[in-house]
A and B are shown apart, each in its own frame.
Chain A
């Protein structure tokens, strides 16, 4: 069905695809496995015509093709569901499908599409209302729209880029059913992922990539998680985190009946209450966009609470400034590393003292004590294992893992009483992820309260002592991690309230 041969693509400073070859058959689900930055998405963007390869050949159904733009890709029966959905949010589902579609009438094209959509929805088991506006849909429904968009264009080869990262476990199971159905209808499905369990669950064959190269292609029936992980990372991987028993102490954070608005002025938090104790990690699970971001922002002083109270280490800090809250001992590991975590153009040492630059020992009167700054930077760069040629290197030149270590070094070196971590390992490779998780556990063991927000359910399950699930700005329930079942958490992520509410 599809052959990609010797694809090379270089970006300034990086070889993203180094003589990559891939062969996919009709009627198979083919997983493309690799860590972030291994070159999976680049390869698929080439296949979909978004990037041009430096060299290499592509064959579809035995014929050599030149794909210069998505239009060419669509013409050859290739469809792609991007990780970040490419949908026009204010438009209806039908309008999104009709966009750029050849062969629709000039007048009211969405009407015709609505009819076709109904038929496709039924055939593949992808229910969605063609007249709904995209912004009203859940992430799972938006994904269905993306798949329908590709199918409507006659896609025979469907690429899905990390499709499960925005889904609840139940939605994931539904997606897999759809993929199996498509496979039976003779489509080829390429499934990009870094999750081993998903590969083993649905894929027929798997191609593993590492640092821009293909490590190997093999049938899933002849392999297991352990050997795939070895291929993906290049060394042995420990799946278990060493974590001591939880010894909860006094209250580090108490949130009571918290209400807040989103950027668009609609309620994002509707009466959230929970407690984080010193020496425990409370994980907040939930599908993206259910109020997690607003929760973190209200606690760290970046968004106003409309109602409710936030008590940090015994002090009422509701609607205080971000600096007051930071000075009270709250460390913040923000969601968007580059935008909120560092000042990219400033040096590493300047970034390291950002929260403390106004206090001794780093400043005296109006002047910075540069020698002290330098000594401090040198010490924590070593302590937190930040790989950099010099403390004066601009922070933006660091890799993602090193930027995150920089942020942790700044936030944790101030001996906080509470750490608020949002997606701390998002987009990091396995090595850096392990290290950062260990750092968070170390904080907990030394008696710090940790609030961990993550969409990665595995991460939440592995790190947390208790798990709270958010849905549409409310806590659906709080469970202890040792007793939590993934099905139960999945139901809560989809909006089902836990039966016996546990006193928090």
Chain B
């Protein structure tokens, strides 16, 4: 039946395209839950994408590429953490700088690698047994990335960590009221560093997924604004890892639809779609009062208030 294959296509592609959004959003949620906005997601993702491709192409091990992308993303986030937590620089300016820096550096280093198809991409998986279920099988369990499944499990794990454990209380408190956490002996700086670095690691993996699995090749600026969608999704999800799943799937589907419209619409219009989505999401979030879930100390550097 025709509507079935149409549905399978949409959900399957929404999962594939939503995966990098999910990884990036989970990371940004953790950073922001600790009170640090990182607008450098786009930069960390693109650095991850390039380094994953370079390593996978040179070594022939795509898994190793993803691992290196995680490290590179974490390293880039460390710069942001140092600037904003230790030096108390403006988080927005630092994040923007990180994005520009990442795009520029990846473009420079990636010159010789442009447009080459990857010899050995990350293999996609088909879950035996489950993929035989009618409709749901081909939709969810056929020809998907292992990173899609890890991302979904990670969302649940991060949610449990946030709301059900000692670490979660500490992380949320640091983002809501760092002075309170400090007065109880919590190391606010350490928590913020770790959260921002985790955000970078996940953004790096998101980028690596694009270049060694989704595409799989390297082109300059291949993240194409996904980092900004991640920022919008973080708000859309109300800083909740489980909600991030639905948000990512929704945006993944929108992306997929906009590609299907390629035949009818000018490419410039399609290129500005993600940004239009982001504006729309922020407007909806603002109108529906979703922003009220924002961590209380979001964007505010912490000092111990000595006069």
Contacts and interface: CB of A to CB of B under 8 A. Distances in A.
To the question of whether A and B form a pair in one complex, the answer is yes
Interface of A: 11-12, 14, 16, 48, 50-51, 69-71, 74, 80, 82, 86-91, 95-96, 98-101, 104-110, 149, 264-265
B100 to A, nearest CB: 32
A106 B172 contact: no
B292 A264 contact: yes
B260 interface: no
Contact of B170 (A50, A99, A264): A99
The 3 closest A-B pairs by CB, nearest first: A71-B185, A100-B184, A86-B180
B297 to A, nearest CB: 10
B166 A88 contact: no
B173 A105 contact: no
Contacts of B258: none
27 contacts: A11-B307, A50-B305, A51-B306, A80-B183, A86-B180, A87-B180, A88-B176, A89-B177, A91-B169, A91-B173, A95-B169, A98-B169, A99-B170, A99-B173, A99-B180, A99-B181, A99-B186, A100-B170, A100-B185, A100-B186, A106-B165, A106-B167, A107-B164, A108-B164, A109-B166, A264-B292, A265-B289
A86 B289 contact: no
B169 A99 contact: yes
B296 interface: yes
Contacts of B181: 88, 99-100
A87 B184 contact: no
Interface residues of B, number: 25
Given A74-B184, A82-B183, A99-B186, A89 B166 contact: no
Contacts of B165: 106-109
B176 A91 contact: yes
A442 B9 CA distance: 80
B247 to A, nearest CB: 21
B140 to A, nearest CB: 30
Contacts of A101: 184
B179 interface: yes
Given A90-B296, A106-B165, A149-B184, 16 more contacts: A50-B183, A51-B306, A70-B182, A70-B185, A80-B183, A86-B183, A87-B177, A89-B177, A95-B169, A96-B180, A99-B170, A99-B181, A99-B184, A107-B164, A108-B164, A264-B292
Contacts of A12: 307
Contacts of A105: 166
A142 B294 CA distance: 22
B306 to A, nearest CB: 6
A110 B164 CA distance: 9
Contacts of B164: 107-108
Contacts of A70: 182-185
Contacts of A50: 182-183, 304-305
Residue with the highest number of chain A CB atoms closer than 10 Å, among B185, B296, B304, B306: B185
Contacts of A99: 169-170, 173, 180-181, 184, 186
Nearest to A73: B185
Given A88-B177, A88-B180, A11 B169 contact: no
